[in-house]
Chain A
Amino acid sequence: MWLFKVVVSVCVASVGLSAWAQDKAFVRGGVAYVEPADAVVASAYASQSPKLSLALGQELDQVNRAILQWHHRSYDSDLENFPARLSLSGVAAGFEHDLVALANGWRLTLAAAVGALYLTTQGPEAAKEPLLDRLSFGYNLGFGCGYSYAGYNVQAKVEQEHIFRRFLGNYSFDGHLYELAFTALL
């Protein structure tokens, strides 16, 4: 776990510094409701928290942006006598492209991101496993609608997330995400 934290910290710090050093860098905070695509996962684990995300980004030109994101979410077991909690944390590098720039600051956006995720389990006497067994990778594809005004942007986004299946012994943690994000130019 310490290695993962170090990697995340270094990535966030380096992108943050480089973004800060240039024009049109921005920071973004987001909250997303996650709907598991797998009915078994949805019935076994209820969302305990929304997916919270914090991102730093850079506007590459008027319609393209690069983003580095940290995110976290957790689920609680629905079994009364087995109060387990899964937490998924991760970093993702992404790209956004404005498909349509409508009048009055509205825009439609396509987003894609790839990243690494780390699973932690809190529960009744949860056993320890090697770090690599808890590490997985995933990608997101999303479509959003945003409104920009005076250097700020509010965006509603629908995303499809795929987390590679070996992550949880072939139980799929794929999901659909409904996100609301707030962006401010630095």
Chain B
Amino acid sequence: MNMPAWRRWLRRPLWLVCLLVVSSCKETAAINTEFPQVTGEVFKVQLVGDSRDGPQIYASLLGLAQHSGQADALIHLGDLLSSPARTEQIPLFASLTKSFLQGKPVYIAPGNHDVDSVTSLRNLAKVYPYLGETGYYAQHLGGCFCVFLNSEDQATPGSHIGNEQWAWLKQVLQSPTAQRAHYRAVFVHRPPFPQNHHKDQPLRTPEPFHELMVAHKVSLVASGHEHNYSRLVQDSVTYLITGGGGSPVHGSPDSGASFFHYVEIFEKLAGNQLLGRVIDFQGKVRDEFYVAI
């Protein structure tokens, strides 16, 4: 018995509809979120850097962090854009970040892919007004007096940290507000002591910078710029590099430093110490450390 013509026709597009449905499906990856929870009254800060070319990975890291317990603040260590000219990415970054933070604040230390002119800094400051006209500022977070530097200082051409910013940094670290704080930390995109990809391009200039950190008892200096993870303790100052927020990682995966990640800092004031934990893209703890404060 012959099938009616209209039914024969209806059968033909079915495979095309199936194709459209299949092509709209997204892949999902399994992640491990079974790492131990930190309990008790703690102030928790999440650090991430260099997310610029990997918004999907950045989103996954924020999701992972949210799953492990909402942080009280997010600190982005710069390079959130592909380049300073890509202003259309500013709303995308802002929207993506905001969707994971549930009203908690985000603080940015601008990077070389974010700022290369007064104009590009001004663009970022429209969305994050605390950056102001200079890109550097200080902020209390929990018991921390946090200093955010602009390593792309436009005030002194060719200098990572210009003369005015350097003078401001010295002044603000020796201020009674900073000294009364339980501890001090500095966040700057370019690391003073790069360990891998940018080893020959430290924040200018590292020696006086380190002397200043020691003199004012800064406990932690966190940076990005290198797309991997490293930790260095020098004269009781812990230098972290956390640039695995989404951009292609630098170096061989075998090195142990090259992986997508974020860092959680737990403030345990009663114990006079910070607990730091480095979480990779699969939710595994890759490093755990304490910083005396």
Contact = CB atoms under 8 A, between A and B. Distances in A.
Interface stretch (B89-97, B169-177, B184-192): B89-97
A40 B53 CA distance: 15
Per DSSP, are chain B's interface residues mostly helix, strand or loop, or mixed? helix
Contacts of A123: 87-88, 123
Contacts of B85: 126-129, 133
Nearest to B19: A141
7 contacts: A40-B99, A82-B127, A84-B91, A124-B122, A129-B85, A141-B20, A170-B55
Contact of A125 (B54, B88, B123): B123
A82 B53 contact: no
Contact of A169 (B52, B91, B94, B120): B52
Nearest to A174: B24
A18 B85 CA distance: 41
Contacts of B56: 170
Interface string B121-134: 01100110100000
A168 B99 contact: no
* CB-based closest 5 A-B pairs: A169-B82, A44-B95, A127-B85, A44-B91, A100-B9
B81 interface: yes
B2 interface: no
Contact of A79 (B55, B91, B119): B91
A78 B98 CA distance: 13
A184 B202 CA distance: 66
A84 B20 contact: no
Interface string A165-186: 0001111000000000000000
Interface in B92-145: 92, 94-96, 99, 117, 119-120, 122-123, 126-127, 129
A48 B81 CA distance: 24
B95 A141 contact: no
B91 A77 contact: yes
Interface stretch (B10-18, B212-220, B230-238, B271-279): B10-18
Contacts of A101: 9
Interface string A120-148: 01011111110001000000010100000
B37 interface: no
Contact of B87 (A102, A121, A171): A121
